[in-house]
Amino acid sequence: MSYQAYQKAQTSTETPSEVEYRLFAQVTNALIEVKNQPVTNPKTIAALDWNRRMWSVFSSDCGTKGNSLPDQLRAGIVSLSIWVSKHSSQVMRGAESVDSLIDINKTIMEGLADQARLQANSQQLNAESAKPVNASL
């Protein structure tokens, strides 16, 4: 019961950008942990699969009706998802390394962190502007 309460509190206090950042961080850390492991290692396979599935979900979300992201950004995410899938296959064949996948994820994380900061600043400004003005001044 307390675990469910923790999950609810965590998701209710995080912005969408913060949730996405946290997911990217978890997946990227999994990739970093296996980057020097053989591609036949079950942990390597699982990390690559998790990364590919995450990108696939983001790509699918970009195609859903009502997605409010700008068209150019959605197209970029879809293109990156396709690249991630192809590159992951090359990593599994031993033709490429995990490093590029890690780099892409870190770049996206930087953008999400910037977005989270902007959202937090906007919320703070909105909260400050909603404060009642002291009539005695």
Could you tell me if 1 and 8 are in contact, meaning their C-beta atoms sit under 8 angstroms apart? Answer: no
Could you tell me if 29 and 47 are in contact, meaning their C-beta atoms sit under 8 angstroms apart? Answer: no
Q: How far is residue 45's CA from residue 30's CA, in Å, rounded to a whole number?
A: 11
> What is the pLDDT at residue 128?
74
Residues 6+ apart with CB under 8 A from 83: 104
Strands (E), the chain: none
One-letter amino acid of 4: Q
Q: How far is residue 73's CA from residue 82's CA, in Å, rounded to a whole number?
A: 14
Pick the CATH number of 15-118 from 3.90.79, 2.60.40, 1.10.287, 1.20.120: 1.20.120
> What is the pLDDT at residue 116?
77
> What is the pLDDT at residue 134?
61
Helix axes 99-129, 71-92, angle to 10 degrees: 150
Measured in whole angstroms, the distance separating CA 104 from the mean position of its chain's CA atoms is 11
- Encoded tokens for 7: 């999950």
Local mean pLDDT, 10-residue blocks, the chain (137 residues):
56 79 97 96 97 97 92 96 98 96 97 83 73 58
> What is the pLDDT at residue 124?
72
For the chain, first and last CA: distance in Å?
50
> What is the pLDDT at residue 59?
96
Where do the structural domains in the chain lie, given as residue ranges? 15-118
Q: List, for residues 6-36, the tens digit of each pLDDT value.
A: 565 554 678 888 899 999 999 999 999 999 9
> What is the pLDDT at residue 88?
97
